[in-house]
């Protein structure tokens, strides 16, 4: 970690998909202990940026590095990622999904179990860890994906629309977990297009629109600087031109999209063996 506590650095990043420029010279830093919201409409570039930050994509130009200037793709164990698609194995229990992911990072099962139980209590998931995920609701799948991302003890947690499609109770539980992580000194990048949620959860907000960062500051700062009464008004003032159509779902990116899912649903030759549960010591 650097002296100024920078954990993740995005420097003049551009990302092109064929003739489309998804990101245009994006730069900012993520510091230790921050909850940073990436706010923008569909097609703004949020998911592309998260995939660059997680090391799944490489920039067309510019760099994405950890605080010590190590390229992020070389140190993925520093990151916990919850993508839009949870990518759980339906024939495995919640704990088996979590444990398998942790083993990929070389984390001892007992350590992963203790971390899982700690956060499962906050998410009210303790009784569901031994259940197969096939019958899980969307909220339970999302909670399992959160536990999976946290079990190896990452320095930065990257969340892509973590409450999208969740019921009110599940969404509140997820937001409460993010608040807990912050209280414990954790660092979270929280991608959302819900301004109210961003204002609730994040102490710093980066507004991205059509591949460009339009603003970076606390909710109060953005409201004041734009002479607005609310964050929503500030967002509208900063994103006047029409939002472009989301292009990441197009056929031209199908190979890269498959890579994203492959990294978080890695193939395994057989089901996890010896699925015993460790008691918390």
- pLDDT reported for residue 259: 60
CATH topology assigned to domain 6-262: Rossmann fold (3.40.50)
CA nearest 28: which of 216, 278, 168? 216
pLDDT in tens, 28-72: 999 999 999 999 988 888 999 999 999 999 999 999 999 888 888
- pLDDT reported for residue 193: 86
Mean pLDDT, rounded, for 162-189: 91
- pLDDT reported for residue 41: 87
- pLDDT reported for residue 164: 84
User: Does 275 have pLDDT greater than 60?
Assistant: no
- pLDDT reported for residue 240: 83
Look at 262 and 249; give whichever has higher pLDDT: 262
Where b means 16+ CB within 10 Å and e means fewer, 67-81 reads: beeeebeeebebbbb
pTM listed for this prediction: 0.83
pLDDT in tens, 62-99: 999 998 888 888 888 889 999 888 889 999 999 999 99
Long-range CB pairs of 201-206 (<8 Å, 24+ gap) are 201/35, 201/37, 201/175, 202/35, 202/36, 202/37, 203/34, 203/35, 203/36, 204/34, 204/35, 204/36, 204/37, 205/36, 205/37, 205/39, 205/231, 206/28, 206/36, 206/37, 206/38, 206/39
Q: CA 251 to CA 233: how far, in whole Å?
A: 35
Using a pLDDT cut of 70, give the percent of the chain over it.
85
Mean pLDDT, rounded, for 197-226: 94
Long-range CB pairs of 263-267 (<8 Å, 24+ gap) are 263/56, 264/81, 264/83, 264/85, 264/87, 265/87, 265/88, 265/89, 266/104
Domain boundaries, the chain: 6-262
Mean pLDDT, rounded, for 1-12: 77
pLDDT in tens, 101-117: 999 989 999 999 999 99
- pLDDT reported for residue 258: 58
pLDDT in tens, 113-134: 999 999 999 999 999 999 999 9
Mean pLDDT, rounded, for 241-261: 56
- pLDDT reported for residue 245: 62
Mean pLDDT, rounded, for 179-207: 92
- pLDDT reported for residue 247: 56
């Amino acid at each position: 970690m650097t002296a100024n506590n920078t954990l993740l650095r995005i420097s003049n990043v551009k990302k092109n998909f064929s003739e489309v420029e998804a990101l245009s010279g994006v730069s900012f830093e993520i510091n230790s202990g921050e909850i940073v919201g990436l706010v923008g409409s569909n097609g703004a570039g949020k998911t592309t940026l998260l995939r660059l930050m997680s090391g799944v994509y490489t920039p067309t130009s510019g760099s994405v590095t950890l605080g010590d200037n190590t390229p992020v793709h070389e140190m993925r164990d520093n990151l916990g990622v919850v993508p839009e698609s949870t990518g759980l194995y339906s024939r495995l229990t919640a704990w088996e999904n979590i444990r398998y992911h942790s083993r990929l990072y070389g984390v001892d099962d007992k350590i992963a179990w203790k971390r899982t139980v700690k956060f499962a209590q906050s998410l009210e998931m303790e009784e569901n860890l031994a259940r197969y995920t096939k019958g899980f609701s969307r909220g339970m799948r999302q909670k399992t994906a959160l536990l999976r991302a946290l079990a190896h003890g990452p320095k930065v947690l990257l969340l892509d629309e973590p409450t999208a499609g969740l019921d009110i109770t599940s969404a509140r539980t997820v937001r409460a977990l993010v608040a807990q992580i912050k209280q414990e000194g954790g660092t979270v990048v929280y991608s959302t297009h819900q301004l109210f949620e961003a204002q609730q959860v994040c102490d710093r907000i980066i507004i991205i629109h059509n591949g460009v960062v339009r603003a970076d500051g606390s909710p109060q700062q953005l409201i004041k600087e734009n002479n607005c009464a609310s964050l929503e008004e500030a967002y509208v003032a900063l994103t006047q031109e029409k939002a472009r159509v989301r292009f990441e779902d197009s056929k031209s990116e199908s190979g890269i999209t498959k890579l994203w899912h492959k990294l978080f649903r890695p193939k395994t030759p057989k089901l996890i063996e010896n699925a015993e549960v460790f008691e918390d010591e």
